[in-house]
Amino acid sequence: MAQETRGWNDFDAGAILFSFNKDSNVNNIANTLPENRAYSQSNSYTASVADWRVEKPVFNRDFCIDCQFCWIYCPDMSIVSRNEKMVGVDYDHCKGCGICVDVCPTNPKSLLMFEEKKSENDALANWPKKESKKDKENK
Ligand code: SF4
Ligand code: SF4
């Protein structure tokens, strides 16, 4: 049977939306990768919630030191990391806030903001060079 879709104003005040399907095992959820969790239809993980983003972070593996700062600080859990290695950005949930770029410590940065419509290849081709101490002082 197709699941009923309701608007936000169809719910009574105080209604509870469950994050996981009723029959899912949630006891070990912290150790289950997000893509393997039985999220319910009312959980925002199941939808793209980033279509209003105007800029996006692009990841450049060439400079990344896998410090995981971006993963820790992202307020939307949109940095994908596996076995302590930065993998990329979950663009269905990233809101384009730029915090991951701010906290990235490498020179040049391993994450940079680009216009939403720019392709990843174009972004990587336009990556800045390493900044010297002098360049930084003159800023
Ligand atoms: S831009 Fe913001 S929401 Fe997107 S990955 Fe970076 S910190 Fe997360
Ligand atoms: S903050 Fe920068 S260097 Fe650290 S894991 Fe993220 S992209 Fe890599």
- Contact call for residues 113 and 56 (beta carbons, < 8 A): yes
Using alpha carbons, select from 121, 99, 122 the residue that is nearest to residue 111: 99
pTM (two decimals): 0.85
DSSP-based three-state secondary structure for 105: coil
CATH architecture type of domain 49-129: 2-Layer Sandwich (3.30)
Say which residue the tokens 């994450």 belong to: 111
Q: How far is the CA of 95 from the centre of ligand 1 (A)?
A: 6
CA 118-121-125 angle, to 5 degrees, is: 100
- Whether residue 108 is preceded by a cis peptide bond, meaning omega within 30 degrees of 0, is yes
pLDDT tens-place string over residues 63-122? 999 999 999 999 999 999 999 999 999 999 999 999 999 999 999 999 999 999 999 999
Q: In which band, very low, low, confident or very high, does the pLDDT at 1 lie, cut at 50, 70 and 90?
A: very low
Mean pLDDT over 128-137 rounds to 84
Our answer on whether the CB atom of 104 is closer than 6 Å to any ligand 1 atom is no
Each domain of the chain, given as residue ranges in start order, spans 14-47, 49-129
Higher per-residue pLDDT: 65 or 26: 65
Q: What is the DSSP string of 38-69?
A: -B-TTSGGGS---TT-SEEEEE-GGG-----H
Tokens of 139: 């800023």
- Number of neighbours of residue 6 by Cβ within 10 angstroms: 12
Q: Whose CA is nearest to atom 4 of ligand 2?
A: 67
Please state the atom number of ligand 2 nearest to the C-alpha of residue 100. 1
Q: What is the number of the ligand closest to the CA of 86?
A: 2
